[in-house]
Amino acid sequence: MAGILAWFWNERFWLPHNVTWADLKNTEEATFPQAEDLYLAFPVAFCIFMVRFIFERFVAKPCAIALNIQANGPQIAQPNAILEKVFTAITKHPDEKRLEGLSKQLDWDVRSIQRWFRQRCNQEKPSTLTRFCESMWRFSFHLYVFIYGVRFLKKSPWLWNTRHCWYNYPYQPLTTDLHYYYILELSYYWSLMFSQFTDIRKDFGIMILHHIVAIFLISFSYVNNMARVGTLILCLHDSSDALLEAAKMANYAKFQKSCDLLFVMFAMVFITARLGIFPFWVLNTTLFESWEIVGPYPSWWVFNLLLLLVQGLNCFWSYLIIKMACKAISKGKAGKWNPLHVSKDDRSDIESSSDEEDSEPPGKNPHTATTTNGTSGTNGYLLTGSCSVDD
């Protein structure tokens, strides 16, 4: 075990040339980041998880009820043993040939069977009230941590001149504010890793990758004392998250004009921060200014490769946001502007709010489930979309 640890913590990988771990031991004059500090993130993540539970139950839920957001979920598919067996054992998305076979077997028309599969998928989704509570928690946390980050960075010289991220590196003392900021962010991402399996996500794989990269990047930059530039990255990526959650809350509460405005603000901030400021400001200092002042070494390459992976995710999500906005504009021309009414291919964080009626054309089917209150959903929960969005 000692040999494995010695290999893992090899100074020639983690630190610049002629720097050792002994040089970064805490003294009475200065405190430096230590790898064991990261263990603190686990109890803090548990505390964040519990605070979230209390917040959603005793703060967010009363707010949702005050806004007349109901707890009832989507419509339940009418029981049918044959269709249930196909759904659970064969496929959730039957092709045309299978639909025609089921139609003959059940004496239902094809559209009724398609509707049954949509409703069967949708009935496993949480209610709008649950969605609102989750979004309100995320909004509150992101707003708090962003405001804290801005207040912290306003007092930091590297905000105004990024070359300060590398002056006297790695002998840069760890301040209490920086330590708190890092541990709080790391703990939040650990709490998301735990709650990812119960949260309302459609892009499960992408978000797991995002959380793993975030945790690894935060931990990695803390251990080799790249925390200064790390604070810039964290604050920049927090800048748009609160706006997204606010737009979703407005969407669930059916405040459509507020939702539209917040979505536009979110899209502008997201794209500006992640396709403009991040590559031309942050990547510029991590790739070029650090090369000039400190020089490359093995962990430097790993750190920058992780940042390039983050930028790849930023490009992917920006593409989906732009695609979503284009669809919203086309709907707006038809009098149906709603930036959060998106298809199964759009960014899964943003939920649909359509009350569009899924009308049934005249036909022979007496088995078709009826809609509730003249619509196909409850409190903006779309029942007409493909069930594949939650797979």
Residue 133 lies in a domain: yes
Domain contains 373: no
β-pair partners for 299: none
Burial readout 17-26 (b: 16 or more C-beta within 10 A, e: otherwise): eebeeeebee
**Claim to verify: residue 232 and residue 192 sit in the same structural domain:** yes
Give the model confidence (pLDDT) of 248-257 as tens digits: 999 999 999 9
Together in a domain, 221 and 303: yes
Do 152 and 200 have their domain in common?
Answer: yes
Q: Nearest to residue 383, comparing CAs of 348, 362, 364, 372?
A: 372
Per-residue tokens: 224: 């080799």
Asked if the model's pLDDT at residue 384 lies above 60, the reply is no
Over residues 37-96, the pLDDT tens digits come to 999 999 999 999 999 999 999 999 999 999 999 876 667 788 888 888 888 888 888 888
Residue 91 belongs to domain spanning: 81-124
Does the residue 238 lie in any domain? yes
Separation between Cα atoms, residue 357 and residue 334, nearest integer Å: 16
For residue 200, being part of any structural domain is answered with: yes
Encode 200-233: b = buried (16+ Cβ within 10 Å), e = exposed. Answer: ebbbeeebeebbebbbebbbbbbbbbbbbbbbbb
pLDDT above 50 (res 381):
no
The CATH number of whichever domain residue 91 belongs to comes to 1.10.10.60
Q: Is residue 108 situated within a structural domain?
A: yes
Structural domain includes residue 72: no
The pLDDT value recorded for residue 35 is: 94
Q: Are residues 92 and 132 in the same domain?
A: no
Count: domains in the chain = 2
Name the token pair of 193. Answer: 């890793």
Model confidence pLDDT, tens digit, residues 355-368:
333 334 333 443 43
